[in-house]
Amino acid sequence: MPLGTRKVEKFRRDLLKWYDAHRRVLPWRALPGKKANPYYVWLSEIMLQQTTVPAVIPYFLKFTQKWPKVSDLAAAPAEEIMENWAGLGYYARARNLHKCSIIIANDHGDKFPKTQNELNKLPGIGDYTSNAIAAIAFNQPANVVDGNVERVMARIFAVTEPVPDSKPLLKSLAGVMAEGELDRPGDYAQALMDLGATVCTPSSPKCMICPVSKQCEGRNQGIQDTLPARKAKAAKPQRQGHVYWVTDSRGRVLFERRPEKGLLAATIGLPTSEWVEKGGKAAHLAFLPNPRPLKSIEVRHVFTHFDLTLSGAEVSWPDHDPATLAGYFWVEREKIETLGIPTVFKKAVKLFNSLFVQTDKK
């Protein structure tokens, strides 16, 4: 199935030529002919794990403005990083980001290691990310395979076996294409990603303008739109629980710093009950006095592994001092917007706010 050496070389040449004319301009990328900034490459690659380029760009700009060097990030308080990460999801990434920046600052003199092996030892850096950093930041030959590259390989080689079973095959095919003397490894890796993101798109690939269409077996067979084939998805689990709008006599709202472990770990949010499987009964938080259910407040949020529905409840707690409850604190209502909170809580705050603004006006 792999192409012959000459075809592989032609594929790379055509791809790089196309990249030189059509590369995406991204804030973490070096300009043509310039050296990449390893801090930018690392930061962007961590942010891009499970997140799209348009969603990452404003966060990347905010982080690099606030913390221009890896040592600045290492010196920042963990809470500040979590708050600035809020909304990007997968919060373990932010915690590992901080841990990694501290190791780079303390043990590596602010310099990222150049080899994939050394990079792999750092928190939050797995196989894909270490390959990407080695190639893009240090121009080392590496097999960088993200979802875009998998799609391109599935189509170039007409791999009809569905993902995820075909992932090892797609990775090894990408490895064959990158084997031997590879010209400009960093650009080659980014060129493949760009091809997948802008030309060999998930639906309606633009084969008419594709620089490697002649080498594409999927297109030759007319099956490119069906690749990569996917297994039918199992239904996602549904979970449910309560989310609380707890206010004191001054109208302040109760928030919590969530536990260090688990989903949304160490982020700030409205108090919630435990989340149970749909059909189960989530008990109210035992320490809250008389939660009053609010039928009009229902917060829906999609996580990677389950869908969540939270029913809103209001609690009036005039004179309570949350200092007696570890992790809970009052926030002035007008300051809530300045908190960095995950999207699920932003949705909840918006709904509660709209309800209580209406009620306040009556």
CB nearer to ligand SF4: give 106 or 221.
221
CB nearer to ligand SF4: give 155 or 239.
155
Q: The tokens 């099956």 sit on which residue? A: 223
- 83 catalytic? Reply is no
If DSSP codes are grouped into helix, strand and coil, which group holds residue 235? coil
If DSSP codes are grouped into helix, strand and coil, which group holds residue 287? coil
Residues in the chain: 362
CB nearer to ligand SF4: give 101 or 190.
190
Q: Which of 45, 150, 256, 314 is catalytic?
A: 45
Q: How far is the CB of 227 from ligand SF4 (least distance, A)?
A: 7
Contact 241, 282 (CB under 8 A): yes
167: Cβ–Cβ under 8 A, 6 or more apart, which residues? 150
Q: Which stretch binds ligand SF4 (CB under 6 A): 59-67, 79-87, 215-223, 304-312?
A: 215-223
Q: How far is the CB of 127 from ligand SF4 (least distance, A)?
A: 24
Q: How far is the CB of 354 from ligand SF4 (least distance, A)?
A: 45
Binder of ligand SF4 out of 210, 263, 299, 344 (CB under 6 A): 210
Binding mask 139-178 for ligand SF4 (x = CB under 6 A): -------------x--xx----------------------
Under rule CB under 6 A, residue 207 binds ligand SF4: yes
CB nearer to ligand SF4: give 210 or 263.
210
If DSSP codes are grouped into helix, strand and coil, which group holds residue 300? strand
Look up residue 77 and give its two tokens. 């308080």
Under rule CB under 6 A, residue 192 binds ligand SF4: no
Q: How far is the CB of 97 from ligand SF4 (least distance, A)?
A: 33
312 Ramachandran zone, left/alpha/beta (phi>0; psi -120 to 50): beta
164: cis peptide before it, omega within 30°?
yes
Backbone angles phi, psi at 276, to 5 degrees: -115, 165
CB nearer to ligand SF4: give 42 or 157.
157
CB nearer to ligand SF4: give 199 or 266.
199
Under rule CB under 6 A, residue 12 binds ligand SF4: no
CB atoms within 10 A of CB 238: 12
Q: Give alpha helix (H) positions in 109-237.
A: 116-120, 127-138, 147-156, 167-177, 185-194, 217-221
349: Cβ–Cβ under 8 A, 6 or more apart, which residues? 270, 336, 341
CB nearer to ligand SF4: give 172 or 353.
172
Q: The tokens 């199935």 sit on which residue? A: 1
- How far is CA 103 from each of CA 73, 97, 99, 114, rounded to the nearest angstrom? 11, 10, 6, 15
Under rule CB under 6 A, residue 200 binds ligand SF4: yes
Q: Which stretch binds ligand SF4 (CB under 6 A): 62-70, 93-101, 202-210, 306-314?
A: 202-210
Dihedral of alpha carbons 159, 164, 166, 167, sign: positive
Q: How far is the CB of 201 from ligand SF4 (least distance, A)?
A: 8
Q: How far is the CB of 178 from ligand SF4 (least distance, A)?
A: 16
Q: How far is the CB of 135 from ligand SF4 (least distance, A)?
A: 20
The whole-angstrom distance between residue 157's C-alpha and the CA centroid of its chain comes to 29
Q: Which residues are catalytic?
A: 45
Which residues of this chain interact with ligand SF4, rule CB under 6 A? 152, 155-156, 199-200, 205-207, 210, 212-213, 216, 218-219, 224
